[in-house]
Structure 1
């Protein structure tokens, strides 16, 4: 591929919106869930899978179930997405306005789903 074409593709990728919002990882064997939020939903799922695959995830209960049941027992679901105001993100600082929306969105889903104790992998704050 030409260098100029690679640069153009890289630029377009860097300046486009990623899916942003709240997600849930569900263990289909025991219905336990992990809820989180991210400015890059595709990337956060890849990050979780990578950390779980190498046995180094921060959430030890989720890690233990991943080891016991395997990847096929888990599904990744997008619970709510942020609709970008514009088609194009000019700067990383533009993401700050979306970052501010995530805690309230995530808290709403945490209250609704209560993924704690027997129902989830999170601890109440």
Structure 2
């Protein structure tokens, strides 16, 4: 089989893993917490928007602009087992865990 086709098939068969993540500024210690349906691909989306200057959270975008990309790290805080959950149940669990991590880390919620 063509290696490209094999990679494409593997990508399509990969199950998204929902979870909660943090974007941290190493210079200031400030943390920004978000939740996503697929933690494996979220960093690329966040970094892409920040590099373009179009990230929806103005506080994160401002910190990025002030301190530069090299000052930021992306970390997965938690993945959730969504087995048996309907989409609304998964969304509620993600929101609950995002809130938990915002409180635990004294972080800025990326939803707000």
TM-score, normalising length: structure 2: 0.78
Seen in structure 2, the aligned counterparts of structure 1 residues 101 and 124 have a Cα distance that, compared at 3 Å, is closer
1:49 to 47, 50, 58: 47
8 Å contact kept, 2:32–2:110: no
Q: CA RMSD in A?
A: 2.9
Seen in structure 2, the aligned counterparts of structure 1 residues 123 and 47 have a Cα distance that, compared at 3 Å, is closer
8 Å contact kept, 1:17–1:84: no
Considering only CA atoms, is the larger Rg found in Structure 1 or Structure 2?
1
1:22-37 counterparts in 2 under 5 A?
22-37=20-35
**Cα distance per residue 1:1-24 (max 9 Å; x no partner):** 749x71x54343223223321100
What residue ranges of structure 1 are gaps of 5+ in the alignment?
87-93
8 Å contact kept, 1:25–1:35: yes
1:70-89 counterparts in 2 under 5 A?
70-83=68-81, 85=83
User: Is 1:105 the counterpart of 2:97 in the alignment?
Assistant: yes
What residue ranges of structure 2 are gaps of 5+ in the alignment?
none
8 Å contact kept, 1:23–1:36: yes
Seen in structure 2, the aligned counterparts of structure 1 residues 95 and 52 have a Cα distance that, compared at 3 Å, is farther
Q: CA deviation at 1:49?
A: 0.4
**Cα distance per residue 1:39-60 (max 9 Å; x no partner):** 1112221111001101111112
Seen in structure 2, the aligned counterparts of structure 1 residues 123 and 24 have a Cα distance that, compared at 3 Å, is closer
TM-score, normalising length: structure 1: 0.71
